[in-house]
Structure 1
Amino acid sequence: MADSRGAANGLTFHRLSAPSVRALARGEGGRAAVEELLTAERSRRLLLLRALADGLSGGDPAQPAGTDPMSHGAAWSLLGRAQREAPQAFEDILMCPHTGMWLSLALRRMRGATAYEDAPLWVVVGHLSALAAAAAARAGLDFTLTVPVRHGRVPLPTLGCAVLAEATEPWGTAQVQARDGLLRITGGRETVTAGPPWSRAAPGWHAVRRLELDGTGSGKFLMLDELDPYRTFPHPSPPRLLSAAEARTWQDLISDAWEILRRDEPESAEAMRVGLMSLAPTPARERYRPHSVTAGDAFGGVMASRPDDVAQLAATLVHEFQHTKLGGLIHLGPLSAPPAPKGAREQLFYAPWRDDPRPLSGLLQGIYAFAGVARFWCVHRHAADAAQAPMAHFEFALWRAQVSSTVELVHRHEHLTALGRRLLGALRGRCLQWMAEPVPPPELALAQEAADDHRARWRAHHLRPPAAAVEDAVWAWRRGADRPPAALAVRPKLVPDAETRYLDTAAVLARYRLGDPAADPSAVEGACAADLLLARGDLPGAREAFLAQLGGKQPPSAAWAGLGRAIADTPELRDASRLLRHFPERACAVQSALEHVTGQGADPVELARWLGRGEAQES
């Protein structure tokens, strides 16, 4: 278990046990490690609560006329009473993921940081009263307390949400009164009654739903939270109620995903049994592009779109719980040096799972999360049925390659702490093991193609060769020089393109091919006709389609990378293809400069062939 060591000043500090550190560094960590992280997280939450109380010691934020005054003192007193008389009820509220998210946002707001919601400060900090009311109700206490109203809704964390249909103002207050387990929420002339029990629906009352993880009678439930404003990250949001059918679908999905996790990821399943607490559902996204989010301040909470299938949901839970574990670890010890001061330029990196360049801290989060994804698919591919195995092999091959290449990029970075170096060293060892695992050739080739395409498109959008070298290349081309200047191979400058989207198109199209080859992939966002031809293996057709794009006005940068793939089977164009698949930004920059100087660009294939004669690694 986690131990606390005394300091000379009487303070104690949480420290992870050596076995837990070793397990977490490998990207693993079971129940014991997560319990240690939760113990530290509990202390952190209590400190944040105290910081909030200290910040409010000068008085409550001003409320508009016509609202009943809220008192943080009364809320604090009631919360303390709940802790004394029913400690478990208090703990459930304290450790709810949404409590952590609210505490972080409220403290930042009080200190002048940018607001993440449009609610006024008195409503944000007044959420303390909603927490106190929920804790006291769970403790079985009788009380009366004023709480905030948000657009006619009164959320009571972990219990439910009352709807005051007659409310006309966006922000207001209501009285919550508890007597013998019965809750009465009154705003103006309207009263909503809830319970007992609170899990039962009533007019104007929406109870928090809970999903049973398995049918073993373990009693482990997951909040399916549609109600709490702080269930979504990083921006709070109004309730989004599911239909009864949607709720049943989520129950079936989570039960089946849990069975997969218990079989393929038993250590993770045991860790999630204590550390995973809530799931905030969002609508289904584009096929093979699920969306999920966690926040370091909301330990145990996951926001996820409805998945395409059960295996995808299992992988998503592993992915997001990796973020949860790493967030808890970082609260105890940073992995990298603090971010650059405001206004200073921060080093950014290629992240194979993102469209945008990422700072080191963000890159480490992605490495850790996708290491878990690779681990999941490594095992699941052997348990999947014959129809699903090709997709599982592809996912494993893709993510092991992406994680491995990224670890190699930064595992010796000077800004890593000792803990960061230890973690990347352990993950590097895992990657070496994964890279030695056999994968069927078709899925291996598809994964490599998807990985290479993502990197090439990213380079085309975000990298710029030295301007002087591009200018020299233009004049060399116009003079008929045999090859481009060597300076064109100097390391390019990173110029982030904020509009870049859908760099994972090749991977999505590969999933269509493996998962449902009869389906029409033409609706894939970011996929042009040329991409679809590539996915079907029609290289001549793709070549002509990419050339048509590059011959038009404002051609997409990624078309150069696509052209490189389309000419890959032509022996005499091998150097041109290699150049476009590895350094498409050179062709993009030189062609743009030629058009600027002469009013006319070169033939894309001939330009790539010429540039390919001078291909070299970046110096």
Structure 2
Amino acid sequence: MTITSSTDPVPIQLSAEDFDRLAAGDTGPGVIRQLIAIEHSRRLALLLATLKAAAENPFSAGPLPSAERTWDSLEEIQAQAPDAVAAVLLHPPVGRWLAHLMRRHHGGTGGRTPAHIDFGQLNTLALAASAIAGLPHRTRVPLRAGRVSIPRFGMAEFADCPPWDLADAWTTGGVIHLRHGAVTVEASGTTDTPGWAGLRSVTATADGLTLTVFVDDLDPWRDVADPIDPVRLSPAEFATWERLLQEAWTLLVTHHRPAAEGLAAGFTSLVPLPAEHDGDTRSASSGEAFGTILCSLPPDAVTLAVALAHEFRHIKLDGLMHLVELSEGAGIPCLYAPWRDDPRPAGGLLQGIYAFHGIAGFWRSQRRVPGHPRPSLPDFEYAYSRAQTRHAIRIVLADGVLTPWGRRFVERLAASMDDWSDDDLDPEAAELAALVTDSHRAGWLIRHRHPHPDRVAALAEAWREGTEPGPGAPGADVRPDPAMRRWSGARLGLARCRLVAPDQYAEAHRTGWGARLSTADLRLFAGDATSAVRLFTADLAADPESADAWTGLGLALRRSGDTAAGTVLLQHPDLVSALHRELAGAAEPAELAGWLARILPGGPA
């Protein structure tokens, strides 16, 4: 098989065997190096597009050397030191800058930044490449608020500058110098000196396998959005990251060696993110910054390790999708993704499937590691992420928006999970994972899916008349509710609390993260489904519009023995609640769900 991207300057090939290995998640350094080659070729294409865009924009150079002149310099460096140019071009923030520049050129983004400031970043690439190669070079570089970031080196900063300005720059003997007015700054490695902040890195080693990553708190293009200011880590903060990375690396190498080998080959930059207010660890990656993982400070090495495994899956899939289309266009946000509270397009769902397959695989191995203080928690995380991945695979295969290569990718991914059902799990952990999985699916349906009004009216009339409604499925449309993007954390937190801190379980609804929980939730997750039915019914009597009470009642009914009514409430909560509203509360929720279970075509779907 040969997959060729028409936008690449040179053809890039990926064998069918490597494609299938990538799909199954079993990727060694060799495949990662192929993805890096794909990214390098793509960046060269973007660089050529930048040269063309600069020629079409009369303001692209301003007082700076023209893009054409800088391109000539890069060609001269390339002829003598191609690895130096490749190293700079593959620096992750360079990809973000190129993508931003292309969007700006094609009208996809605005801003007040002068064109020569954005285009002038090209000059920093030539400056960095010449320094790596040890070649002399002289240019001028743009300043944003007195700052300029040099790829792979760090950031110079000059005081008393206007928002947009320039600095002279040159290299001698591999050392970068920058001058603004009477002030000259020397790029003195990773050491912070007046006017210079060096780009620091961390090296972690375990069992003969080494990971070296930049810890980027400087580059304006390190984030997934527009340029941002530097947020320099203090020595103590940097030391904390260094310790956590070493601990996480030791864990990955020891217990997740294949994942570690891939990370060692392709993970090149860590971007620290601000802490979340709720204490959760946040992580992200960007398809335009191959090799970068953004992450807020995690509480421990295990959390960091799973975040790295998760985000590197996104990085790998982004690299593959730069080579071959896996879905037919972006699609509209109408699909259920078990890890998101809002509807997703097909492309986003595919990304999540691959990432959560990696998370499930991590916990499948991690649960076998002895010494966890709460051994049932890894079982829960594995069961939960496994269920999420399988559910999403069924959805994306049925949706019909995959290309032939996309379908092959998902089918190979699904096949890699064939024997996962044979794994023995802690019973309580498995039940809690099922509760959270079912709760999220039903919660998404009741918030984003809306039954057709005429069908609801016909059902209401049949209920009042005591007759059988006419045939027909309960048609519905997905209409995303922008206000419902974050609503599911409480029950997930409750399940984890049950396993990790059972002594705090009874007070979970009094915490910040558990404010949405009711007494009924606590009874249900403690295994008392009968009491939960009664309490959720009372909650609905007090607030018939409570989405959590409707889904909670479905969970409780199914686990208390009323399987038919509970299943209808979990699979059609939007219909049951809409019918209850149409009847002005004249029917008991459980009775109404039981009635629908008898009349829906084929019973509960």
Give, in angstroms, the shift of residue 403 of structure 1. Answer: 1.1
Aligned in 2, Cα 1:279/1:537: closer, same or farther, shift over 3 Å? same
Look up the match of 1:590.
579
The residue number in structure 2 matching 1:161 is 155
Corresponding position of 2:28: 30
Name the counterpart of 1:423. Answer: 409
Q: Where does residue 249 of structure 2 map in the other structure?
A: 258
1:8-27 per-position Cα deviation (integer Å, ceiling 9, x unaligned): xx985211134312211212
Q: In the alignment, is residue 472 of structure 1 matched against residue 476 of structure 2?
A: no
Alignment partner of 2:554 out of 534, 540, 564:
564
Say yes or no: does 1:581 pair with 2:570: yes
Structure 2: where are the runs of 5+ without partners?
none
- Report the CA distance between 1:70 and its aligned residue: 4.8
> How far has the Cα of 1:542 moved from its partner?
5.4
Q: Tell me which of 101, 105, 128 is aligned to 1:110.
A: 105
Structure-2 change in CA distance of 1:319 and 1:182 (3 Å): same
Are the counterparts in 1 of residues 217 and 271 from structure 2 also a CA contact under 8 Å? Answer: yes
What is the aligned partner in structure 1 of residue 499 from structure 2? Answer: 514
| Aligned-pair CA distance for 1:159 | 1.0
For residues 283 and 532 of structure 1, the distance between their equivalents in structure 2, rounded to whole angstroms, comes to 32
Residue by residue over 1:116-166, the C-alpha shift from the partner in whole angstroms, topping out at 9 and shown as x without a partner, is x66343322222122222222223333332222222322112111122232
Q: Describe the superposition over 1:493-543 as per-residue Cα deviations: whole angstroms up to 9, x where unpaired.
A: 111112111324322321222233345642216733344554455657755
2:517 to 514, 523, 528: 528
Counterpart of 2:356 in structure 1 is 370
- Is contact 2:326–2:404 with CA below 8 Å preserved after alignment? yes
Aligned-residue offset at 1:618: 7.0
Q: Which amino acid aligns with 1:435?
A: S
TM-score (norm 2): 0.90
SS for the counterpart of 2:169 is strand
| Cα contact 1:287–1:308 (8 A) shared by 2 | no
TM-score normalised per structure 1: 0.88
Classify 1:158/1:279 alpha carbon distance in 2 versus 1 (closer, same or farther; 3 Å): same
Contact 1:60 1:72 (C-alpha < 8 Å) held by counterparts: no
Whether the aligned pair in 1 keeps the contact of 2:148 and 2:155 (CA below 8 Å) is: yes
Find the counterpart in structure 1 of residue 128 from structure 2: 134
Shift of 1:94: 0.9
The one of 14, 17, 22 aligned to 1:19: 17
1:108-257 equivalences under 5 Å are: 108-115=103-110, 119-167=113-161, 169-195=162-188, 198-214=189-205, 220-257=211-248
Secondary structure of residue in 1 paired with 2:487: coil
Count of residue pairs the alignment pairs up:
597
Name the CA distance, whole Å, in 1 between partners of 2:538 and 2:117.
56
Q: Does the CA contact (< 8 Å) of 1:285 and 1:306 recur in 2? A: no
**Aligned-partner SS, 2:367:** helix
Q: Taking structure 1 as reference, are residues 240 and 6 closer, same or farther at Cα in structure 2, changes over 3 Å only?
A: closer
Structure 1 residues 62, 545: closer, same or farther in 2, change over 3 A? farther
1:495 and 1:526 map into 2 onto residues whose CA distance is 27
Structure 2 matches for 1:40-439, cutoff 5 A? 40-58=38-56, 60-61=58-59, 68-115=63-110, 119-167=113-161, 169-195=162-188, 198-214=189-205, 220-285=211-276, 289-339=280-330, 346=332, 348-411=334-397, 413-439=399-425
Alpha-carbon distance between aligned partners in 1 of 2:87 and 2:376, rounded to the nearest angstrom: 42
CA contact (8 A) 2:328 2:403 kept: yes
Alignment partner for residue 496 of structure 1, among 480, 485, 500?
480
Residue type at the aligned position of 2:97:
W
3-state SS of 2:480 partner: coil
User: In 1, distance between residues paired with 2:77 and 2:253?
Assistant: 36
The alignment partner of 1:411 has SS state of helix
- Tell me how far apart the structure 2 counterparts of residues 27 and 271 of structure 1 sit (CA, whole Å): 10
CA distance in 2, matches of 1:53, 1:271: 33
SS in 1 for 2:418: helix
The 1:563–1:87 alpha-carbon spacing in structure 2 relative to 1, beyond 3 Å, is same
User: Which shifted more, 397-406 or 279-288?
Assistant: 279-288
SS of the residue 1:229 aligns to: coil
Structure 1: tracts of 5 or more residues without a match: 341-345
**1:73 aligned partner, one-letter code:** E
Contact map agreement 1:4 1:12 (CA 8 A) in 2: no
1:468 Cα deviation (Å)?
0.6
Measure, in 2, the Cα distance between the counterparts of 1:603 and 1:151.
Answer: 64
Instruction: Determine if contact 1:484/1:611 at 8 Å carries over to the other structure.
Output: no
- Cα distance change, pair 19–592 in 1 and its aligned pair in 2 (3 A): same
**What are the superposed Cα offsets for residues 477-507 of structure 1, whole Å, 9 maximum, x if unpaired?**
444x2676654x4242111112111324322
Distance 1:425 1:566, change over 3 A: closer
Distance in 2 of aligned mates of 1:545 and 1:171 = 62
Whether the 8 Å CA contact 1:384–1:392 is kept in 2: the answer is: no
In 2, Cα distance between equivalents of 1:283 and 1:149? 25
CA–CA distance in 1 between the matches of 2:542 and 2:156?
Answer: 57
Which secondary structure state, in structure 2, belongs to the residue aligned with residue 15 of structure 1?
coil
Deviates more, 1:539-548 or 1:103-112: 539-548
The whole-number CA distance in structure 2 between the counterparts of 1:327 and 1:575 is 42
Deviates more, 1:175-184 or 1:502-511: 175-184
Alignment partners' CA distance in 1, 2:204 and 2:91: 17
Distance 1:96 1:513 in 2: 44
Q: Post-superposition shift, 1:463?
A: 0.8
Q: Which amino acid aligns with 2:36?
A: L
Q: Distance in 2 between matches of 1:40 and 1:231?
A: 21
SS in 1 for 2:483: coil
Q: Corresponding residue for 1:343?
A: none
Root-mean-square deviation (CA, aligned residues, Å) is 3.1
**Cα distance change of structure 1 residues 192 and 482 upon mapping to structure 2, 3 Å threshold:** farther
For the 8 Å contact 1:491–1:618, the answer to whether it is kept is no
Q: CA deviation at 1:185?
A: 2.9
Conserved in 1, the CA contact under 8 Å of 2:597 and 2:603?
no
Higher mean displacement: 494-503 or 143-152: 143-152
Q: Write the deviation string for residues 591-615 of structure 1: whole angstroms up to 9, x where unpaired.
A: 33344xxxx6655445445444445
Q: 1:389 to 1:453 in 2, by over 3 A?
A: same
Amino acid at match of 2:580: Q
What is the DSSP-based 3-state SS (H/G/I as helix, E as strand, rest coil) of the residue aligned with 1:176? strand
- Alpha-carbon deviation of 1:553? 6.5
Q: Distance in 2 between matches of 1:104 and 1:5?
A: 21
Structure 1 residues 235 and 608, CA, compared in 2 at 3 Å: closer, same or farther?
farther
Asked if the contact 2:215/2:271 (under 8 Å) is kept, the reply is: yes
